[in-house]
Structure 1
Amino acid sequence: MCGITGIYYRDKDRPAEEGVVRAMCDAIVHRGPDDQGQFVDANVGIGMRRLSIIDLAGGHQPMFNDDQSIAIVFNGEIFNCVELRKELESHGHRFRSHSDTEVLVRGYEQWGDDLPKRLNGMFAFSILDRRRHRVLIARDHIGIKPLYLYEDGGQIAWASEIKALLKVPGITAELDRAAMFDFLQFGYVPAPRTMFAGISKLEPATCLVIENGQTKSWKYWELDYTTEQHSLGDWCEQLRELLEDAVRLQLMSDVPLGAFLSGGLDSSSIVAMMHELGVGNISTYAIGFGGEDAFHNELSKAAIVAKKFETDHHEIVVEPNVTELMYPLIEHLDEPITDTSFLVTYLVSKMARESVTVILSGVGGDEIFGGYRRYLGPRLQNMYQMVPGAVRRGMVMPLLNRVPVDRGSAVKSMLRYARGFASQAELPPPDRYQGYVSVYNNGQRHGILSPELAEMETHHRSRQVADYYAAAGSHDPLNQMMYADLKTSLVDSLLAFTDKMSMAVSLEARVPLLDYRLVEMAARIPSSMKLRGMRGMKHIFKESMRGRLPDNIITQKKQGFGTPISRWFRSSLQPLLQDVLSRERIQSRGYFDADAVTALMDDHMQQRADHSEHILALLTFEIWHQVYLD
């Protein structure tokens, strides 16, 4: 695990400066405190910061082949490196180390640009082919590891984090207003955009070649939703076998390793598989909230799993005052965000880093096995359409709009989802889905923006999420929704902050449920086995773990990994809100309508509505603006 950087000048006579590459690396030292390296060759420079995980002594980067015609910098892990090493040795390659980085070097010698197709891992790398004077850049199948790009008429630069790109002369931090509109809608910025004008994300499963001053990119992998018909028992057996193999591969480490344990199905299943594979005294880590925030507390469930598998269990109870974390964490994130899970991910990562360097996480189970409430939308839609339209519009919606909706209890949370569903019910399926995942809907965005930006926003319509819905290669509504999630919110929000928050404390987070083979297998499972009735979310996954996990872990209602931010905004975080989102600052910025922001916050403080997501979007945007643009 590390952070990588690179720069390519289109003018072949302009030499790359090692000092620039070093400055880029220094900006991401938290990603790799153990080692660093830079290499420049004519108009190309590459660099890295290393967190030593595999072959602690022999994994220095940049790494070269025997004649030094190939150089690589690499972030991540190749989990099938042992298998690939044997295959490469059969082709006559001789290895000097046990590092998976060298497997990439030899693999490029053998397979060239087809190398990424053969990899099972989480990775972002750049290979400098000095003979051909070209650079190959690639990102893993799912997008577990990040990579950002900048390109103009004079140069191309890339890095694991945006803050490294901002160290390159000529790259300035400027707001992309179209990305801002996307952020207000989704709570993150869907690829390929970032919040910074001119800086983009390299999308998952993508190769990019730089040669003769030009770039060319292509996809090396795509998900196929062609279903296969097997019995429930057969699918469960296949799922268990593949999950066990994914966990086995991801236990590879020369440093201490543990697991996050929320007490939910996903993280509990990872711990169960570690136990079955013979890992003793597993270090597990859980986070919870006390007092009035007990609704968000899953410590008791995590303790049940920890006791069953006799883990070395660690807990942290979060105090509601997280004010001092907001600025440094938004800086680590590079972009604003509205998923409060970034806070708990950072806190539990910080606790885990005291005793381990690698952590296994349950991220991804909801997206591949059907764990979100919105996946019930098509079924609810069929039922809701049976209610006469006049009744829906004249009675149901007005009634739901009157109910104070909060995240502070199960009932209030259910009402919140019901109101969101009903408000989208009349839309076409792609737009309905896009409405499910929106923070600010179309009317709300128009109302919160300043008049000037509201006019601009009327000409901007983000279609990425809805377009992915339509491009799933399946007519099944569940597959369409899951594919859109996999391509957008999973990679650009959940995986992005999991990477940034764990790497902020130099902790490597691995996600066995997103082994691409498991993702492919899940796509082949019929939807009827993922969702059963109106309460049977993740049915196939639950059945596959029955007998391996306590029944109350399997049958529990989904809780999530967020924070009681709604109440915090009315208590410990209120002073921060009043300062960061003061009327004077809102007016001076000119992005938002000050009256609308004031009304939004007043409604929330008086508990007339739960606007926590809306407020968090404004708060993290303003903090991001102060950190990066002011």
Structure 2
Amino acid sequence: MCGIVALRSFVADSALQPRAQHALDALSSRGPDAQGLLCLNQPVPTALGHRRLAILDLSDAATQPMRCAESGNVVVFNGEIYNFLELRRELEALGHRFRTDSDTEVILHGWRAWGEALFPRCNGMWAVVLLEQTTGELVYCRDRLGVKPLYMHHDGQRLVLASEIRAIACALGGYPPPNPAAIFDFLVAGLSDHNCDTFYQGIRAVPPGWLYRVSPTGHSRRHRYHDWPAPGAADPLDAEATRALLEDATRLRLRSDVPTVTLLSGGLDSSILTRISLQADSAPRTCFAGAFTYGYCDATHAAFDETADAAALMKEWGQITRHHVHRAHAVPDEEELRALVVAQEAPFCTPSIFASFRMYRAIREAGYKVVLNGEGADELFGGYVGLYLPLAARDALRGAHLPALVKLLASGAVLPRALLHRLAWDLPGPLLGAMLRRNRPSVACMSGALWHDQSPRLRALQADRRAGVEMRMRSDALSTNLPMVLRMADRNSMSAGIEVRAPFLDYRLVERALATRADTRMGNYHGKALLRRAFAADMPPRIVERRKSTGFGHAEQFLLDRMPVQRTLSSLPPELGEFLDVPRLRTELARGRAHTTLWLAVSVALWHRSIYA
């Protein structure tokens, strides 16, 4: 786990090395253990840089950039190939000889043996840039879901690739202008990372599941190396398969040469992962050190504190000595708010991510740097019942399935107001736009110029929001929700030098989940029915039968009125007026009891000030 940069100039470039080093320095928090930079002039000026967080093979032999002695290929790699031991055995059977115990060397030998067929064999998360000696081409790709980030800027004269946008900005000599389209989508629907665009013009994310080749002349070609199955196109999940796949995914992700911990909330997902981890503790190359739980110092937020539930669970399992609790004040101070904004480097949709921002720092201070979390479980198994059940009610209403609609409303699981919010997206475009401008604070605080210029984008956002439950859950996993969650989690964790591994995102489990009907995965009003059935024998009934917990950082999510933003918002760059009606934003905040969507506008303002002031 680490940070990578790659620069290639298609014109003479005497400043390549200092620009590459400057970019690499910007990634220091991602890889505090070592760094390496290789600069070549042939076939064209090219630099490959790496910041290392040492997790597999802690020796200097595993540092990067790493060169293959047989082929001359050079690689920089961010992520983990969890099945590297199995791939290594295959390669050794083919006659390959290894000099390290790292997964990085498996990539080099795998490329030599299988070429582009390597990555479909890999189970892991990765952003890889490889310089192919025979062709002079730069090859780069991301994992199937884009768990690990890779951004690119290609203007015809140079190509810049990096794990974070700040590194590209360092290589370019500054941040590009803001991207109005990205800001519009974020203010209207709270979306980011739903396509390859970023909040910066000219910087894009490398799409997950694609492989690129760039020649020495700058010619680029690409192809998709992975396609997700359509519903019904693969074997659906049942409880037995769900259990087997998740257990194997977790065991693979426990492979590490440093201790691993889990985040334990006392809810279903984290309890399952912690239980599997405890059972797999004796597996080769595994050292599970326990679980960390987040709680609050403030008595007023006791309702959101899950430390007692988590402690009770660990005590029942006889593992209380391996349970660690970190408590924090829900409301941050200005310094912490500023640090989170800088770490994220883009607007973020909820202040609830303060919880993980704090937690990863606490885990690092305790001496750990590998964490298992439950990212993806809500999207794959229908955990967002507050979103999905109103959509099910809307689907029933559209299809005139009145008994199903009445049952949902009578259960209390779907409030009429929530149903009306979903139905609003069915309104004609002009009427929907007028309603959003009037009633949604983040849209009301959008500048008139941005609304006028970008309002045609509302049509695409509306089409996305009109999707039924089946398509909504698929979209949330592949494009709208999970990619955004992964981006925020990566930046929070890596700003503290922490590697996060997500067993629910094992591609084998994701494929089977996407091929399984949404109602089978989600089930009743609790959500995650399939997951509950799969692990009912391992969990206390109170865990299996309880509805979704309040969630990580739930208290922070609703404390906008108490966030220390007023002083920051009192001195904003005048250019922000191109995107926000700043006086309206200040007025909305001064009213108190701000609507949660107002955070979207506040986040845009905080981000813009941190980058462009």
Alignment-derived partner of residue 185 in structure 2: 182
For residues 436-487 of structure 1, what are the alpha-carbon distances to aligned partners after superposition, in whole Å with 9 as ceiling and x for unaligned? Answer: xx998996555322222232232333737946987xxxxxx43311221112
Task: Tell me which of 256, 261, 265 is aligned to 1:258.
Answer: 261
Paired residues of 1:358 and 1:507 also in contact (CA < 8 A): yes
- More displaced, 348-357 or 422-431? 422-431
Inter-partner Cα distance in structure 1 for 2:575 and 2:170? 28
For residues 559-583 of structure 1, what are the alpha-carbon distances to aligned partners after superposition, in whole Å with 9 as ceiling and x for unaligned? Answer: 2223323653334x2xx2222233x
Paired residues of 1:265 and 1:554 also in contact (CA < 8 A): yes
Alignment-derived partner of residue 388 in structure 2: 375
User: Kindly tell me: are residues 295 and 385 of structure 1, through their superposed partners in 2, closer, same or farther at Cα, counting changes over 3 Å?
Assistant: farther
Inter-partner Cα distance in structure 1 for 2:24 and 2:422? 46
- Amino acid across the alignment from 1:216: R
For residues 286-337 of structure 1, what are the alpha-carbon distances to aligned partners after superposition, in whole Å with 9 as ceiling and x for unaligned? Answer: 1122322223222222223222333311112221331221111111112110
Aligned length, in residue pairs: 584
- What is the TM-score normalised by the length of structure 2? 0.88
Alignment-derived partner of residue 401 in structure 1: none
- Amino acid across the alignment from 2:422: Q
> The residue matched to 1:570 in structure 2 has which SS?
helix
Q: Which runs of 5+ in 2 are unaligned?
A: 406-411
Task: Tell me which of 41, 66, 87 is aligned to 1:63.
Answer: 66
Alignment-derived partner of residue 531 in structure 2: 541
User: Kindly tell me: are residues 465 and 64 of structure 1, through their superposed partners in 2, closer, same or farther at Cα, counting changes over 3 Å?
Assistant: farther
- Amino acid across the alignment from 1:275: L
Alignment-derived partner of residue 325 in structure 2: 315
User: Kindly tell me: are residues 240 and 465 of structure 1, through their superposed partners in 2, closer, same or farther at Cα, counting changes over 3 Å?
Assistant: farther
Paired residues of 2:391 and 2:422 also in contact (CA < 8 A): no
- More displaced, 560-569 or 185-194? 560-569
Counterparts of 1:179-328 in structure 2, within 5 Å, are 179-189=182-192, 190-211=194-215, 212-227=217-232, 235-278=238-281, 282-289=289-296, 290-311=298-319, 312-323=322-333, 324-328=335-339
User: Kindly tell me: are residues 564 and 261 of structure 1, through their superposed partners in 2, closer, same or farther at Cα, counting changes over 3 Å?
Assistant: same
Alignment-derived partner of residue 138 in structure 2: 135
Aligned: 1:450 with 2:460: no
Aligned: 1:357 with 2:369: yes
Aligned residues: percent identity? 29
Paired residues of 1:530 and 1:539 also in contact (CA < 8 A): yes
User: Kindly tell me: are residues 488 and 296 of structure 1, through their superposed partners in 2, closer, same or farther at Cα, counting changes over 3 Å?
Assistant: farther
Inter-partner Cα distance in structure 2 for 1:221 and 1:106? 21
Inter-partner Cα distance in structure 1 for 2:65 and 2:462? 37
- Amino acid across the alignment from 1:22: Q
User: Kindly tell me: are residues 247 and 320 of structure 1, through their superposed partners in 2, closer, same or farther at Cα, counting changes over 3 Å?
Assistant: closer
Paired residues of 1:20 and 1:167 also in contact (CA < 8 A): yes
Alignment-derived partner of residue 399 in structure 1: none
Paired residues of 2:187 and 2:443 also in contact (CA < 8 A): no
Alignment-derived partner of residue 605 in structure 2: 622
Inter-partner Cα distance in structure 1 for 2:40 and 2:213? 17
Paired residues of 1:54 and 1:100 also in contact (CA < 8 A): yes
Paired residues of 2:126 and 2:143 also in contact (CA < 8 A): yes
Inter-partner Cα distance in structure 2 for 1:109 and 1:372? 44
Counterparts of 1:532-611 in structure 2, within 5 Å, are 532-533=523-524, 535-558=525-548, 559-565=550-556, 568-571=559-562, 573=563, 576-582=564-570, 585=572, 589-590=576-577, 591-603=579-591, 605=592, 607=593, 610-611=594-595
Inter-partner Cα distance in structure 1 for 2:463 and 2:585? 28
> The residue matched to 2:238 in structure 1 has which SS?
helix
User: Kindly tell me: are residues 387 and 230 of structure 1, through their superposed partners in 2, closer, same or farther at Cα, counting changes over 3 Å?
Assistant: closer
Paired residues of 2:348 and 2:600 also in contact (CA < 8 A): yes
Paired residues of 2:442 and 2:601 also in contact (CA < 8 A): no
Inter-partner Cα distance in structure 1 for 2:6 and 2:400? 58
Paired residues of 2:527 and 2:547 also in contact (CA < 8 A): no
User: Kindly tell me: are residues 627 and 221 of structure 1, through their superposed partners in 2, closer, same or farther at Cα, counting changes over 3 Å?
Assistant: same
> The residue matched to 2:609 in structure 1 has which SS?
helix
For residues 324-354 of structure 1, what are the alpha-carbon distances to aligned partners after superposition, in whole Å with 9 as ceiling and x for unaligned? Answer: 2111111111211022232111111112111
Inter-partner Cα distance in structure 2 for 1:386 and 1:602? 44
Task: Tell me which of 92, 105, 119 is aligned to 2:95.
Answer: 92
User: Kindly tell me: are residues 208 and 355 of structure 1, through their superposed partners in 2, closer, same or farther at Cα, counting changes over 3 Å?
Assistant: same
Alignment-derived partner of residue 485 in structure 1: 476
Q: Which runs of 5+ in 1 are unaligned?
A: 393-410, 471-476
> The residue matched to 1:253 in structure 2 has which SS?
coil
User: Kindly tell me: are residues 424 and 379 of structure 1, through their superposed partners in 2, closer, same or farther at Cα, counting changes over 3 Å?
Assistant: closer
Paired residues of 2:3 and 2:52 also in contact (CA < 8 A): yes
Aligned: 1:74 with 2:77: yes
Alignment-derived partner of residue 408 in structure 1: none
For residues 236-260 of structure 1, what are the alpha-carbon distances to aligned partners after superposition, in whole Å with 9 as ceiling and x for unaligned? Answer: 1111111111111111111111111
Q: Give 1:420 shift.
A: 3.9
Q: Give 1:27 shift.
A: 0.3
Q: Give 1:262 shift.
A: 1.1
Inter-partner Cα distance in structure 1 for 2:223 and 2:465? 17
Aligned: 1:49 with 2:51: yes
Alignment-derived partner of residue 347 in structure 2: 336
For residues 140-162 of structure 1, what are the alpha-carbon distances to aligned partners after superposition, in whole Å with 9 as ceiling and x for unaligned? Answer: 11111111111112111010001
- More displaced, 536-545 or 439-448? 439-448
For residues 383-417 of structure 1, what are the alpha-carbon distances to aligned partners after superposition, in whole Å with 9 as ceiling and x for unaligned? Answer: 5569999xx9xxxxxxxxxxxxxxxxxx9xx89x7
Paired residues of 1:469 and 1:480 also in contact (CA < 8 A): no
Aligned: 1:5 with 2:13: no
Q: Over aligned residue pairs, what C-alpha RMSD do you find?
A: 3.1
- Amino acid across the alignment from 2:585: V
Inter-partner Cα distance in structure 2 for 1:167 and 1:361? 31
Paired residues of 1:93 and 1:106 also in contact (CA < 8 A): yes
- Amino acid across the alignment from 2:606: I
- Amino acid across the alignment from 1:296: F
Paired residues of 2:381 and 2:528 also in contact (CA < 8 A): yes
Inter-partner Cα distance in structure 2 for 1:502 and 1:595? 34
Paired residues of 1:144 and 1:491 also in contact (CA < 8 A): no
User: Kindly tell me: are residues 567 and 425 of structure 1, through their superposed partners in 2, closer, same or farther at Cα, counting changes over 3 Å?
Assistant: closer
Task: Tell me which of 505, 514, 518 is aligned to 1:514.
Answer: 505
Q: Give 1:557 shift.
A: 1.7
